[in-house]
Structure 1
Amino acid sequence: MAVNTLPVNSPSSNQDDDEISIIRYRSGKPAARAMITLPRNLITFLLDGEKTVHFAGAQVSVKPYQFVMLAAGNCLISEKLAAPEADYHSILVFFDNKFLSGFFDRHTSLIDRPAKTSDQHPFLLFEKDEFLINFTHSLDSILIGDKPVHPKLQKVKLEELFVYLAVQYPGQIQRIRNMHYEENDDLLIRQAVTSHITNNITVQELAFLCNMSLSTFKRRFARLYGNSPNRWLLEKRMERAAEMLRKSDCKASEIFSELGYENLSSFIQSFKQIYGVTPKQYQLSI
């Protein structure tokens, strides 16, 4: 699976030097799941469709009545159409830490001292109130055709958004300071695998989320768990499956998707690989 860096085609002529880029993204064929590298922080305002983002130790789903801030780094992004004939439509705002530092320096009267907390997240999710709905419309109105938005206007709009968040959501604005992970590699691996046991995510994608090569990820995983990541994930998923089959009257056809499987036959094959019997035979035996 190829790794994409966003923004792919920025209208700015000096993308690397810009603090902020505001662009429109529309697609009739949204990504099922893509490995994305974000050199800068990203705000996504959804207009149509849904988005799911996976980080090493967390994941978030976003709907059109919400918007999300994502920290720079590696993530997996999935997009979903609202209807078969609809487009996936969003407005993307990229901004670097230079803008954040400047904002906090310019508005010390609005922002209390940063809270001392170890609570670190790679994202912040907001629900749109009336102001934020109108703010999204204002971004939509300045993105006309292929003409880039003037850099000064982009900065004014992002400044407006952050000032509003500082006034209305002071707790959230403090968390923006901690919108990243600063963990050691071993902890990052543990977070990644335990957070995605029931997700249909490959070992290659887990390595990407941990910002490691596949070989490095496998080597460090084996040192931590004494097993290969594929085998460890298989065993953990099947342990969960066996628990669900023992404690409820659920059939395999009712739980396979909850365990990250796209079809029933693959789930039955995996279960038999660990327990030597099919899920139905396992239930009958207990």
Structure 2
Amino acid sequence: MSIENIPEIYIKNKSENLDLFVYDFRMTNDVVKSKVNLGMNMFSFLQVGKKQVHFAGTSVAVNQDQSLLLKKGNWLWTELLDTKAIYYCKLFFFSERKLKEFLEKHSKNKKIAIEDTPFFVIRNDSYITTYLSSLSTIKEAPSIFANSLLSVKFEELMLYLLQKYGEKFEIYLHSLIAKETSPFKKIVESKIHSNLKLEEIAFLCNMSLSTFKRHFIKEYNTSAGRWFKDKRLQKAKETLELDNLKPSDIYLDFGYNNLSNFSIAFKNKFGINPSEITS
């Protein structure tokens, strides 16, 4: 699967060095775990559909009642149609320079969150609805005024969210310009109980699959495939023991494409079929 460089692929004039950019993204087919290199921090205002994103150490899912502010970097995006035959979200990209300008003007708090969360969930409300409508009208403005208007709209949105979420949002904004720290083990161990493929986890670590496998052996003294398999089977066993679930309910969650393969792997490790586990 190729990597999409966003917002570059949406910008018509490639010579432009934009600090702010708005794009209306629409599609009519589901997209699952597409690889995205996000070159700017971005607001994703979901209008129709569902969205799930994976970053280095975490993931989040939202519907049209929520929007996201996403940190630049490598992401896996899943975008799903809802009841309507279209997926639509308005994307608002902003540069680090614009963010620094805003913080210098409006923020005195330079605390950084202990947990480096790459996303901020925004609850959509009447203001957001009205704001997005006004943002759309900028496209109709003469180009000589568009950038100035967009700059005003960016500051307006940031001030509103700062007022709405207070220190929590302020600290998050500062984290976007802090030096990134993404230790290899932190990323790997946050994905133990996901159903991501090794290639997808390697992408989140900013590595090729071959480099990821070599680095993994140095860190864990075993192969990545074997390590993830053992960890996930152990978690599957715990899930069957504690929850009122059947093997057919969980095998997909632990990276298996069919129940038969899951049952064989489970029996090879524990000596019993998963269906023999009772809560």
Task: State TM-score, norm by structure 2.
Answer: 0.88
Partner SS for 1:139:
helix
Partner SS for 2:64:
coil
Contact kept, 8 Å, 2:3 with 2:35, in 1: the verdict is yes
Q: How many angstroms apart in 2 are the aligned matches of 1:3 and 1:134?
A: 34
1:129-278 correspondence to structure 2 within 5 Å: 129-143=125-139, 150-171=146-167, 172-179=169-176, 182-183=180-181, 187=183, 189-278=184-273
Residues 8-61 of structure 1: CA deviation (Å, up to 9, x unaligned) = 533452565110110100000131110110111111000000111101111111
Residues 186-220 of structure 1: CA deviation (Å, up to 9, x unaligned) = x3x22222222222211111111011222221122
CA 1:119/1:20 → structure 2, altered by over 3 Å: closer, same or farther? same
Q: How many angstroms apart in 2 are the aligned matches of 1:223 and 1:148?
A: 55
Shift of 1:270: 3.0
Partner SS for 1:17:
coil
Partner SS for 2:195:
coil
Shift of 1:257: 3.3
Partner SS for 1:34:
strand
Task: State TM-score, norm by structure 1.
Answer: 0.86
Q: More deviation in 266-275 or 193-202?
A: 266-275
Contact kept, 8 Å, 1:3 with 1:36, in 2: the verdict is yes
Tell me the equivalent position of 2:65.
Answer: 65
CA 1:243/1:10 → structure 2, altered by over 3 Å: closer, same or farther? closer
Equivalent pairs, count: 275
Partner SS for 2:170:
helix
One-letter amino acid of the counterpart of residue 196, structure 1:
K
Tell me the equivalent position of 1:119.
Answer: 115
Contact kept, 8 Å, 1:27 with 1:87, in 2: the verdict is yes
Q: How many angstroms apart in 2 are the aligned matches of 1:216 and 1:48?
A: 38
One-letter amino acid of the counterpart of residue 267, structure 1:
F
One-letter amino acid of the counterpart of residue 96, structure 1:
S
Contact kept, 8 Å, 2:195 with 2:252, in 1: the verdict is no
Contact kept, 8 Å, 1:45 with 1:91, in 2: the verdict is yes
Contact kept, 8 Å, 1:44 with 1:90, in 2: the verdict is yes
Residues 213-251 of structure 1: CA deviation (Å, up to 9, x unaligned) = 222211221122111111111101101112223334532
Q: Does 1:26 pair with 2:26?
A: yes
Contact kept, 8 Å, 1:120 with 1:181, in 2: the verdict is no
Tell me the equivalent position of 1:55.
Answer: 55
Residues 145-174 of structure 1: CA deviation (Å, up to 9, x unaligned) = xx9992222222111101212222222122
CA 1:100/1:130 → structure 2, altered by over 3 Å: closer, same or farther? same
Q: How many angstroms apart in 1 are the aligned matches of 2:111 and 2:268?
A: 49
**Alignment root-mean-square deviation, CA:** 2.5
Shift of 1:277: 4.2
Structure 1: gaps of 5 or more residues: none
CA 1:149/1:263 → structure 2, altered by over 3 Å: closer, same or farther? farther
Structure 2: gaps of 5 or more residues: none
Shift of 1:71: 0.8
Q: How many angstroms apart in 2 are the aligned matches of 1:9 and 1:148?
A: 23
Shift of 1:88: 0.5
Tell me the equivalent position of 1:283.
Answer: 277
One-letter amino acid of the counterpart of residue 17, structure 2:
D
Name the % identity.
32
Partner SS for 1:201:
coil
Residues 45-88 of structure 1: CA deviation (Å, up to 9, x unaligned) = 000001111011111112111111111111100011112x4200
Q: How many angstroms apart in 1 are the aligned matches of 2:237 and 2:144?
A: 55
CA 1:169/1:12 → structure 2, altered by over 3 Å: closer, same or farther? farther
